[in-house]
């Protein structure tokens, strides 16, 4: 009986390790990036926070315009949602609970042009997130 169990376990390990696609893990070469938003600031009036930022001038030509901005809302260290801002607008009003702490992660989102797209790779590119905290 022990030998049967050892055989089944060995066979399962071999079978499952054959499903591991190393090419997906190793494929990290992706030559496109977006710069981070600039001059991220906020104003707070009552329970409304207005975030403002600037889109850098050095956006590579391989991205379709206009860009999108995605803002991750983190309330008391709990991820709540993503707010999207379209057409390269550079501000957003967000209603908050003044008793809680907030962190906003602001990222540019761009889509590669048809000429820059590569088969099997995403055409969606995010910038590094700029972070602002409100306590």
Residue 58 maps to a domain: yes
Instruction: Give the range among 2-11, 42-51, 92-101 with minimum mean pLDDT.
Output: 2-11
CB 132 within 8 A of CB 51: yes
CATH (domain of 48): 2.60.40.10
Domain residue limits at 76: 32-134
Structure confidence at residue 8 (pLDDT): 59
Residue 15 maps to a domain: no
Residue 14 maps to a domain: no
Residue 19 maps to a domain: no
Per-residue pLDDT tens for 65-80?
999 999 999 999 999 9
Residue 25 maps to a domain: no
Number of domains in the chain: 1
Residue 18 maps to a domain: no
Residue 113 maps to a domain: yes
In this prediction, residues 22-40 reach a mean pLDDT of: 72
In this prediction, residues 117-132 reach a mean pLDDT of: 92
Residue 2 maps to a domain: no
pTM, full prediction: 0.76
């Amino acid at each position: 009986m022990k030998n049967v169990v050892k055989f089944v376990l060995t066979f399962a390990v071999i079978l499952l390790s054959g499903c591991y696609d190393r090419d997906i893990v190793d494929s990290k070469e992706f030559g496109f990036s977006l710069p981070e938003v600039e001059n991220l600031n906020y104003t707070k009036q009552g329970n409304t926070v207005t975030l403002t930022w600037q889109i850098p001038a050095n956006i590579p030509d391989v991205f379709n315009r206009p860009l999108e901005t995605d803002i991750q809302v983190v309330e008391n260290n709990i991820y709540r949602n993503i707010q999207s801002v379209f057409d390269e607008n550079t501000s957003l009003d967000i209603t908050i609970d003044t008793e809680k702490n907030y962190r906003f992660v602001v990222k540019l989102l761009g889509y590669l042009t048809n000429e820059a797209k590569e088969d099997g790779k995403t055409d969606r590119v995010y910038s590094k997130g700029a972070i602002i905290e409100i306590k």
